[in-house]
Amino acid sequence: MPTAQTTVDDGEIAKFEAMAAEWWDLNGKFKPLHMLNPCRLDYITTQIAGEFDRDLKSDKPFAGLRILDIGCGGGLLAEPMARLGADVVGADAAAGNIPVAQIHAEQSGLEIDYRHTTAEAMAAAGEQFDVVLNMEVVEHVASPIDYLRACHDLLKPGGLHVCSTINRNPKSYVMAIVGAEQIMRWLPKGTHEWSKFITPDELFSLIAEAGMEPVDRKGFVFNPIAWSWKLSDRDLSVNYVTASLKPA
């Protein structure tokens, strides 16, 4: 097996280690993710169902699929995937997140394989998945292209990669950093670095360079009046999500 390289940014990991105990606090530091989660899940489940011809109204529609949630945190996405019947592996480079995720899964009666590891290490070990979920992670790694190459290697031929991140423009600075961190204080100051944000065109280019075929992208748009998120085909100005395939 090739030697596993790492794209882990130790400074970024330290930020999330400090917040690990608050993953399941609906009003804690991860409140923005809890608010966004229904919208994320809508996109993810629709993409998986479409790609693998699954009926979301059936019992355990994702049975037989092996799904990796890389950068799983406390398990906000891994748990719904397990409830839908998938064989789920949740991996995170921040060691403190894993026991939080494990305890919550046990309390919820769910079997999820949580691991303190990296995408690169799993790829070097020859792990393969039908789906790789890569949500709000790529803006925190040291080398996005090397990280995406590892995600490519983790997919089976024909596998689905779902990746979300934050656009880089003046609006995203105002919304994601000034608004979320400094005014609303949903996140600790310094959680994000604007310079690490990636535009949709840049991400599509990186995904293609990593060997995957981009097939879709949509925006996550926050409505401050309804206090909720929705998917948008046109507005990718701040938060957005992409889907891509590994050639069969």
> What are the residues whose beta carbons fall under 8 Å from the beta carbon of 237, sequence distance 6 or more?
167, 169, 171, 172, 219
Q: Which token pair is 57?
A: 């109204």
Q: Retrieve residue 178's tokens.
A: 């000034």
Q: Which residues pair with 164 in a beta bridge?
A: 135, 241
Alpha helices in the chain (DSSP H): 10-18, 31-52, 78-83, 97-107, 119-124, 144-154, 170-172, 200-209
The span from the CA of 164 to the CA of 178, in Å, is 20
149 annotated as a binding-site residue:
no
Q: Is 1 annotated as a binding residue?
A: no
Is 92 labeled as ligand-binding? yes
71 is in an annotated binding site: yes
Tell me how crowded residue 225 is: count the other CB atoms within 10 A of its CB.
Answer: 5
**Tokens 């950068």 sit on residue:** 71
DSSP per position, 59-94: SSTTTT-EEEEET-TTTTTHHHHHHTT-EEEEEES-
Task: Please list, in sequence order, all residues whose beta carbon lies within 8 angstroms of the beta carbon of residue 215, skipping any fewer than 6 positions away.
Answer: 243, 244, 245
Pairing of β 129-135 and β 113-116:
unpaired
91 within 8 A of 67, measured Cβ to Cβ: no
Enumerate the known binding-site residues for S-adenosyl-L-methionine: 40, 71, 92, 135
